[in-house]
């Protein structure tokens, strides 16, 4: 009897490369498992023989972050999602993280995966998704396309959950700049209260680059400063200036969640910085902040990326 090789927990591994840069994208969830520049492991990912945990490198579709109690109203009907964060009683990070995506295109420096999200309890819409990953002189670029292939208008938002790292010293000494004027206050269940809090004079003021220090971040930043090209740039530097990361966000991403991992397992706490570009705020299906509505036949396309220097 022919022996069948076991399937890896994250499915097929798609490697793309350009010069010193190498990234591995997974069939499961179309997530980034690894991303490195030479010997520098930029992404704090996970091994090929494990499944993804703590959102590491995953795409968050068709909503990022939390949906309070898993409930929302849309188009005159009430929807109830499964509570995928039972400790807080929320639905979290969408519906595609552990789905098997189709690998449509693979080239040396880029790949494209797609997934058709069929109607289901809590999201009775038909949404076609495509994710393109590309490495080049400008670094890593991730582009998400969402198309409504159903008959009704649907709600949509997108996010991603990479954990970035500069070295093995952990986040405390790293120099962070976040071009945001305010943070979103959250309640004890990590849901926005509706209050925007100016960062000036607080521990969350990273408008000028400074060490992260002991600050605990599980925080949504918004009102991002942008250049004439519409891009907002988050900056992360090593104390010796030898390594630098720049994360760019298009105007479609007005929210940036940062997470120092203090609630993770002891060996993972403050080891890397979760940098989550989001097109909508946490709990967007209820508060509507940044929520897109996509008409039948309409598609939306969003991008973000990472530049690295050493």
Q: According to the model, what pLDDT value does residue 296 have?
A: 98
- Reported as a pLDDT band with limits 50, 70 and 90, residue 274 is very high
Residues 216-260 have pLDDT tens digits of 999 999 999 999 999 999 999 999 999 999 999 999 999 999 999
- What pTM was estimated for this model as a whole? 0.96
- Asked if the model's pLDDT at residue 1 lies above 60, the reply is no
Domains of the chain: residue spans and CATH: 13-309 (2.70.98.10)
Cis omega (within 30 of 0) for bond into 22? no
Report how far residue 142's alpha carbon sits from residue 75's, in angstroms, rounded to the nearest whole number: 31
Whole-number Cα distances in Å, 94 to 13, 115, 120, 159, 210: 22, 13, 13, 9, 33
Average pLDDT across the chain, whole number: 97
Count of alpha carbons within 13 angstroms of residue 11, beta-carbon side: 17
pLDDT digits (tens, 9 = 90+) for 73-110: 999 999 999 999 999 999 999 999 999 999 999 999 99
Residue-wise pLDDT for 15-58, tens only, equals: 999 999 999 999 999 999 999 999 999 999 999 999 999 999 99
| Residue corresponding to tokens 């010193």 | 20
């Amino acid at each position: 009897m022919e022996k069948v090789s076991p399937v890896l927990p994250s499915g097929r591994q798609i490697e793309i490369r350009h010069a010193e840069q190498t990234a591995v994208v997974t069939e499961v969830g179309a997530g980034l498992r690894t991303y490195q520049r030479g010997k520098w492991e930029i992404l704090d990912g996970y091994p090929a023989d494990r499944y993804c945990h703590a959102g590491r490198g995953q795409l968050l579709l068709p909503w990022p972050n939390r949906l309070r109690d898993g409930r929302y109203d849309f188009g005159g009907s009430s929807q109830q999602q499964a509570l995928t964060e039972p400790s807080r009683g929320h639905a979290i990070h969408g519906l595609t993280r552990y789905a098997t995506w189709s690998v449509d295109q693979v080239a040396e420096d880029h790949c494209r995966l797609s997934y058709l999200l069929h109607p289901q309890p809590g999201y009775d819409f038909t949404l076609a998704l495509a994710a393109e990953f590309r490495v080049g002189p400008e670094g890593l670029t991730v582009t998400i396309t969402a198309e409504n292939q159903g008959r009704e208008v649907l709600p949509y938002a997108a996010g991603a959950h990479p954990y970035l790292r500069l070295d093995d010293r952990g986040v405390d000494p790293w120099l962070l700049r976040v071009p945001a004027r305010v943070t979103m206050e959250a309640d004890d269940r990590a849901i926005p209260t509706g209050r925007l809090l100016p960062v000036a004079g607080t521990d969350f003021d990273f408008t000028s680059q400074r060490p992260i220090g002991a600050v605990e971040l599980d925080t949504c930043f918004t009102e991002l400063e942008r250049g004439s090209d519409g891009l907002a740039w988050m900056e992360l530097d090593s104390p010796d200036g030898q390594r630098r990361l720049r994360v760019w966000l298009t105007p479609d991403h007005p929210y940036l969640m940062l997470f120092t991992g203090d609630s993770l397992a002891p060996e993972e706490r403050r080891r890397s910085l979760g940098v989550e570009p989001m097109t909508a705020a946490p709990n967007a299906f209820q508060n509507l902040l940044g929520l897109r509505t996509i008409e039948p036949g309409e598609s939306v396309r969003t991008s973000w990326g990472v530049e690295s220097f050493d």
